[in-house]
Amino acid sequence: MKCLLPLLLLLFSVNLIAQCSITKEIGKHSTTYIAKMETVSLNEDLENGINKYELRVVLNKDTDYKKPLYYMLQCRYMNSGQYRLKGECVPRSLVFQSVNGQSMIIQALKEEDVPTNGQGVQCRLYTYEISPELEYFLKTSSLKSITFWDKRANQGIPTAPYKDLLKEQFECIWAYGNSKL
């Protein structure tokens, strides 16, 4: 009973602050908790096309115990119009910089095309596995910037998202996962 009250308070506060939206998918060998995609960068000149980056945290619990519990990050990148013609910045790497000056880099492990309804709109999903060090960094640090880096083109798109965006997604997934036990 002593543990139930703090858990309920945590769930209530996280839902109020973070607007949690978590999806649970049960597969043959794992259960996956997926946060809602959050827009991190969207170009202002939409009449010239779309250049949009979205992020979300994903928690995977393997039931076959090869890798019992691990976090991933997914980036959905959409572009159209002049952004497809003049050269795109594919997010093969992400650079996270905290408000206290620390930074960490993560590399994409997987790239896949995502079907879209819009004509001329290209959408791809990049998946990154989060190391324990990066997990700790993202859970405990407020972010100053996230740079979407394309090492092939040697260019990056710096963004200044809401500083606790990923921290809140981690909290939502943790709270949702523990409430379903």
Q: What is the CATH number of the domain that holds 44?
A: 2.60.40
Mean pLDDT per 10-residue run, the chain (181 residues)?
Answer: 50 51 90 94 83 94 78 94 71 96 96 86 94 95 95 91 95 79 43
Q: Tell me, rounded to whole angstroms, the distance of Cα 62 from its chain centroid.
A: 20
**Residue 16 burial (C-beta neighbours within 10 Å; 0-12, 13-18, 19+):** exposed
What per-residue confidence (pLDDT) applies to 102? 96
Question: What's phi and psi for 134, nearest 5 deg?
Answer: -70, -35
What per-residue confidence (pLDDT) applies to 166? 94
- What pTM did the predictor assign? 0.82
Contact of 163 with 142, CB cutoff 8 Å: yes
In sequence order, what are the residues at sequence separation of 6 or more whose Cβ sits closer than 8 angstroms to the Cβ of residue 77?
Answer: 52, 53, 54, 88, 90, 91, 123, 124, 125, 126, 148
Instruction: Residue 165: give the domain boundaries.
Output: 4-179
Tokens coding 125: 């999903």
What per-residue confidence (pLDDT) applies to 181? 43
Q: What total of structural domains would you count in the chain?
A: 1
What per-residue confidence (pLDDT) applies to 51? 86
What per-residue confidence (pLDDT) applies to 14? 43
Around Cβ 66, how many Cβ atoms within 10 Å? 8
Contact of 179 with 33, CB cutoff 8 Å: no
